[in-house]
């Protein structure tokens, strides 16, 4: 009997086998090119020169832009109080949602705390919003050039990301006819990013309304990414799509990462704008249910959020914006002197895109080759076009330290050197 059990066991489940652990479909199809550049790309620099990294959207990396004392104190107080060590409601505690509602309200529209869902960073908010509205086999419209996370999430979920064009010669406004022509019965969402990463554009009110008109005509909701809300230094003020919409259901996603200079604190939000109850209770409920997967953002940051959003002084914001304005102007002015480059003036959002006329350069194969040469010779690193789906454009960060004028000058001079060498 014992022998029989032994034999059956060997022949079936008890037989030791080799490990065979396949990677999931989701993981195989998840690729975020921007994280790949920041975390894994290693192009050899010139060992004689200190590296200038113009690739990053993290304003803390250079150490020149610390958060405000008020924000730091709010966070310390939230920890020291001992009252914020437990779980909070998955979609955010009432006080923090109230604070976001107040912060997001405009004279045109007062936001209610019940229309706010908190998430782990704006990335978390985007992920929840897409999960609530789009299934495998459907499509969404995204801007090109654009922030890579949208494509990354679509790839991992089997959602088709259809790109609508932005025109550099027109302040990176969207190709409205092109956008409309991409819409079909499987289109679930139009994504707008304003102010834009990576374009540095800030849309006029009229342009946002034109996009809303298309959304209304085809009955497609809008997701407006406003993580750079108020990070503007050009002539165009920031307008929130949420306060402009009348009939189109809009989800505005935002957070404190950029304007408050604390991307690592990981809190973001979705504000639901639904004047005619088109999303209805079911979408609201879906958003809240999806928050239960990771049980909401960090409780300590939630507790500090009301003070962060209300007490951060105006001078703090002005200082950051001045730095970005000066930096992007330096780059714009010096790079526009080179006929081989086509910088597009930035209006906000800590980035600027620079076009390259590869046909005018003999020893440069393409923009990737140009990036590699720039790093190898001048130790200057910036983002290549493939990260933003923008052929022949490069992105520069405009929050590099103003205090190191020299490195800035070298950053822009290096383009001259390398271009001269490739003429
Ligand atoms: C356009 C855009 N949306 C969302 C995010 C993500 O923000 P968070 O750091 O709050 O997740 C970023 C970050 O760079 C961004 O550029």
Residue 404 binned pLDDT confidence (cut-offs 50, 70, 90): very low
Question: Could you tell me if 353 and 168 are in contact, meaning their C-beta atoms sit under 8 angstroms apart?
Answer: yes
The whole-angstrom separation of Cα 139 and Cα 188 is 6
**Any ligand 1 atom below 6 A from CB of 411:** no
Interval 216-243: pLDDT, tens:
999 999 999 999 999 999 999 999 999 9
* Nearest to 354, CA basis, from 398, 417, 406: 398
13 or 257: which leads in pLDDT? 257
State percent of the chain over pLDDT 70. Answer: 86
User: Is the pLDDT confidence value at 403 over 60?
Assistant: no
Q: How many residues in the chain?
A: 423
What DSSP element (H or E) covers 422? Answer: helix 405-422
CA-57 nearest atom, ligand 1: 14
For residue 45, the CA-to-ligand 1 centroid distance in Å is 28
Does any ligand 1 atom lie closer than 6 A to the CB of residue 268? yes
Distance 228 CA to ligand 1 centre (A): 8
Q: How far is the centre of ligand 1, averaged over its atoms, from the C-alpha of 237 (Å)?
A: 20
Distance CA 331, CA 411 (A): 8
Q: Is the CB of 263 under 6 A from ligand 1?
A: yes
Mean pLDDT across 210-219: 98
**Among 130-139, 167-176, 326-335, which is the least confidently predicted range?**
326-335
CA–centroid distance, residue 140 to ligand 1 (Å): 18
C-alpha–C-alpha distance, residues 46 and 25, integer Å: 40
143 close to ligand 1 (CB < 6 Angstrom)? no
Q: What pLDDT score does 411 carry?
A: 62
pLDDT band for position 333 (50/70/90)?
Answer: confident
pLDDT on residue 58: 83
Residues in contact with 226: Cβ distance below 8 Å, sequence separation at least 6, in sequence order: 194, 195, 238, 240, 241, 242, 252, 253, 254
Contact 58, 257 (CB under 8 A): no
Task: State the closest ligand 1 atom to the C-alpha of 126, by its place in the atom list counted from 1.
Answer: 4
Q: Does 308 score more than 70 pLDDT? A: yes
Q: Is the CB of 57 under 6 A from ligand 1?
A: yes
Instruction: Say yes or no to pLDDT of 49 above 90.
Output: no
pLDDT of the residue at 83: 97
Q: 160-167 and 187-193 as β-strands: parallel, antiparallel, unpaired?
A: unpaired
- Distance (Å, whole) CA 260 – CA 231: 10
What atom of ligand 1 comes closest to residue 266's alpha carbon? 10
- Structural domains in the chain, sorted by start: 31-65+315-422 (3.90.1150.10), 69-311 (3.40.640.10)
Query: 257 CA to middle of ligand 1, Å?
Result: 7
User: Which of 221, 239, 226 is CA-nearest to residue 287?
Assistant: 221
Please, how many CA atoms are within 13 Å of residue 325, restricted to the half-sphere of its CB? Answer: 11
């Amino acid at each position: 009997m014992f022998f029989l059990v032994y034999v059956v066991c060997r022949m079936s489940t008890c037989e030791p086998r080799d490990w065979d652990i396949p990677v999931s479909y989701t993981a195989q199809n998840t690729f975020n090119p921007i994280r790949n550049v920041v975390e894994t790309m290693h192009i050899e620099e010139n060992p004689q020169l200190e590296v200038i990294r113009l690739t990053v959207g993290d304003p803390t990396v250079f150490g020149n832009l610390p958060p405000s004392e008020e924000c730091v104190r709010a966070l310390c107080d939230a920890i020291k109080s001992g009252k914020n060590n437990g779980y909070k409601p998955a979609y955010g505690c009432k006080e923090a949602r109230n604070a976001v509602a107040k912060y997001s309200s405009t004279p045109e529209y007062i936001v209610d705390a019940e229309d706010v869902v908190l998430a782990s960073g704006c990335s978390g908010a985007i992920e929840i919003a897409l999960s609530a509205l789009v299934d495998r086999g459907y499509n969404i419209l995204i801007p090109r050039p654009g922030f890579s996370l949208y494509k990354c999430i679509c790839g991992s979920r089997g959602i088709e990301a259809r790109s609508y064009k932005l025109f550099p010669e027109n302040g990176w406004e969207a190709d409205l006819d092109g956008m409309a022509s991409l819409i079909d019965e499987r289109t679930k969402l139009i994504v707008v990013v304003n102010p834009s990463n990576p374009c540095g554009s800030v849309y006029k009110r009229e342009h946002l309304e034109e996009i809303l008109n298309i959304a209304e005509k085809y009955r497609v909701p809008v997701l407006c990414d406003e993580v750079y809300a108020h990070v503007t230094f050009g002539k165009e003020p920031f307008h929130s799509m949420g306060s402009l919409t009348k009939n189109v259901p809009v989800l505005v996603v935002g957070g404190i990462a950029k304007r408050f200079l604390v991307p690592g604190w990981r809190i973001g939000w979705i504000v639901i704008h639904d004047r005619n109850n088109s999303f209805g209770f079911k979408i609201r409920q879906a958003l809240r249910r999806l928050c239960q997967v990771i049980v909401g953002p960090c409780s300590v940051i939630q507790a500090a959020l009301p003070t962060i959003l209300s007490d951060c002084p105006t001078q703090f914001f002005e200082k950051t914006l001045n730095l970005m304005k000066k930096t992007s102007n330096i780059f714009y002015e010096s790079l526009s002197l080179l006929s081989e480059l086509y910088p597009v003036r930035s209006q906000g959002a800590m980035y600027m895109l620079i076009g390259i006329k590869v046909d005018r350069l003999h020893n440069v194969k393409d923009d990737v080759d140009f990036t590699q040469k720039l790093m190898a010779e001048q130790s200057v690193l910036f983002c290549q076009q493939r990260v933003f789906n923008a052929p022949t454009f490069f992105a520069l960060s405009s929050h590099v330290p103003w205090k190191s004028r020299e490195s800035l000058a070298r950053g822009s001079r290096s383009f001259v050197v390398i271009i001269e060498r490739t003429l």
